[in-house]
Amino acid sequence: MSTRVAELVDLLHREVKPALGCTEPIAVALAVTKAVEVLESNCPKDHMGSDWRMTADLQIEVAVSGNILKNGMGVGIPGTGMIGLYIAAALGAVCGKSTYGLEVLHDLEDRAIARAKEIVEAKKVSIGLAETDKKLYVEAKVRTGDCHCASAVIADLHDHIIKTCFDEQVMSEETNTETENPCLKPICEYGLTVKEIYDFTHTVDIEEIKFLLEERAINMKLAEEGLRGDYGLGVGKTLKKNKNGIYGEDFVNYATELTAAASDARMAGCTLPAMSNTGSGNQGIITSVPVIAYAQKYHIDDEKLARALAMSNLIAIHIKGYLGRLSAICGCVVASTGSSCGIVYLQDGTYEQICAAIKNMIGNITGMVCDGAKVGCALKVASGVTGAIQAAVLAMDGKCISENDGIIEKDVEKTIRNLANIGSVGMQKTDEMILKIMVCK
């Protein structure tokens, strides 16, 4: 395996991984968890019993970037029946384990949930805006009743702890450069192109990307739970009911209901994990479930499915590298563009048809805004999936939106950068306005 191929495989491992719950409140839970662990490691042991976390008088202060606040205010927290950052922070203090990363709340149990609710009801948790230019930033401070204080800071990546302190003394601080820590290397600096992704997908040793089939096990289980239970708006479940004969049994509806159902469950606080993409469970769901649904519907073998998932995930990662992990544009735009390419791949599409699918998507749903993580995201997911399939069908028929139209360029890479510039620069005021509306309701 060449160095470059190994680099791309490592990038897939880095950006495609399990996450339990929406990753913005989970980042808050993780920061609080780490701060509590610093307390446990440094406070006098005679102050702590074996059940210290469940009984300690803790005051939790969290400061977050605007985008973390936006995406954490209205989303369900696994197993609690509650929404928002307050309960996520309290759970991190009571039962989190930082070694679990984005599955920090893996050991959730009824007793811990009850204790976390007591902490919130006693107003022991405060959430505020941090003074930072970073889109992704969480600082958690935890104080004990005897005035010891520990803190932890997460920045840039949802599970990237850059600093911890105990009683104002720095205990650890991230000083590594990206050459020492590959996880810090920005995606855009990988120099990916759609052509390289296309070639990689066709030529990489299948053993190197077989792990992507875990998306089928994890995300389809979440979809099945969404169809079985009563979660959120029940978008997927309602579509599956096929009321009045409006929705049929074709692939479009099959893929849409499965993908929306997975989002229904996840955003409403289901305790099952999602396989995420670039730090987002919903993006992981959208990049994978429509592709998996196509493979199931048309009896595609596992090797071809794994390659299609590599295509879908890497296209989404590539676009995200320019756009940023959190932005004013809904992540559904990026993820459904990836799944459209995955569906084209499963139909033996050419490089030109992959490019056409990307342009068709960017010319269609670029304007979809992110107004926070919430159960209503399943509606946007459903729209993204139908758009992805439409773009793929057009691409396979040789139809591609013209470079004379709007933000579309002849060069697919320029088209991607146009999308990214709109989301990261052009819509900055939109992002601020959305947050202002949300916090003033």
Whether the predicted pLDDT of 48 surpasses 50? yes
Q: Which residues of 162-179 are buried (b: 16+ CB within 10 A; e: fewer)?
A: bbbbbeeeeeeeeeeeee
Nearest to 219 by CA among 372, 11, 20: 20
- Residue whose structure tokens are 């289980």: 221
* pLDDT in the model for residue 42: 86
Assess contact for 119 and 32: CB atoms under 8 A. Answer: no
Where does the pLDDT of residue 132 fall: very low under 50, low under 70, confident under 90, or very high at 90 and above? very high
Residues 138 and 115: their CA atoms lie apart, in Å, by 23
Tell how strand 149-155 and strand 82-83 pair up: unpaired
Whether the predicted pLDDT of 255 surpasses 60? yes
* pLDDT in the model for residue 130: 93
Q: What percent of the chain has pLDDT over 70?
A: 96
Where does the pLDDT of residue 358 fall: very low under 50, low under 70, confident under 90, or very high at 90 and above? very high
Both tokens assigned to 329: 């544009």
Q: Distance of alpha carbon 191 from its chain centroid, rounded?
A: 22
How much is the pTM? 0.90
In the chain, the amino acid numbered 212 is L
Residues 224 and 258: their CA atoms lie apart, in Å, by 7
Least confident window among 146-160, 193-207, 261-275: 146-160
Where does the pLDDT of residue 326 fall: very low under 50, low under 70, confident under 90, or very high at 90 and above? confident
41 vs 417 pLDDT, higher one: 417
Q: What is the mean pLDDT of residues 218-243?
A: 93
* pLDDT in the model for residue 181: 59
Least confident window among 22-26, 55-59, 76-80, 240-244: 240-244
Residues 361 and 358: their CA atoms lie apart, in Å, by 5
Assess contact for 370 and 358: CB atoms under 8 A. Answer: no
* pLDDT in the model for residue 179: 47
Both tokens assigned to 259: 């993908």
* pLDDT in the model for residue 145: 76
Q: Which helix (H) or strand (E) holds 412?
A: helix 412-421
Whether the predicted pLDDT of 177 surpasses 60? no
* pLDDT in the model for residue 378: 96
Nearest to 360 by CA among 336, 328, 380: 336
Average pLDDT, the chain: 92
* pLDDT in the model for residue 334: 96
In the chain, the amino acid numbered 217 is A
Least confident window among 64-68, 308-312, 336-340: 64-68
Instruction: Note the pLDDT tens digit of each residue in 63-120.
Output: 999 889 988 888 889 889 898 999 999 999 999 999 999 899 999 999 999 999 999 9
Residues 91 and 393: their CA atoms lie apart, in Å, by 45
Assess contact for 75 and 24: CB atoms under 8 A. Answer: yes
Tell how strand 125-129 and strand 59-64 pair up: parallel
CA 58 vs CA 52, 124, 141: distances in Å: 10, 7, 10
* pLDDT in the model for residue 119: 94
Q: What is the mean pLDDT of residues 13-37?
A: 93
Where does the pLDDT of residue 45 fall: very low under 50, low under 70, confident under 90, or very high at 90 and above? low
Nearest to 18 by CA among 96, 106, 91: 106
Least confident window among 114-128, 202-216, 419-433: 419-433
Both tokens assigned to 318: 């590539």
Whether the predicted pLDDT of 243 surpasses 70? no
Provide DSSP, 294-315: HHHHTT--HHHHHHHHHHHHHH
Whether the predicted pLDDT of 176 surpasses 60? no
Q: What is the mean pLDDT of residues 294-323?
A: 97
- Cα 321–156–219 angle (5° rounding)? 65
Q: What is the mean pLDDT of residues 211-225?
A: 97
Whether the predicted pLDDT of 327 surpasses 90? no
Where does the pLDDT of residue 182 fall: very low under 50, low under 70, confident under 90, or very high at 90 and above? low
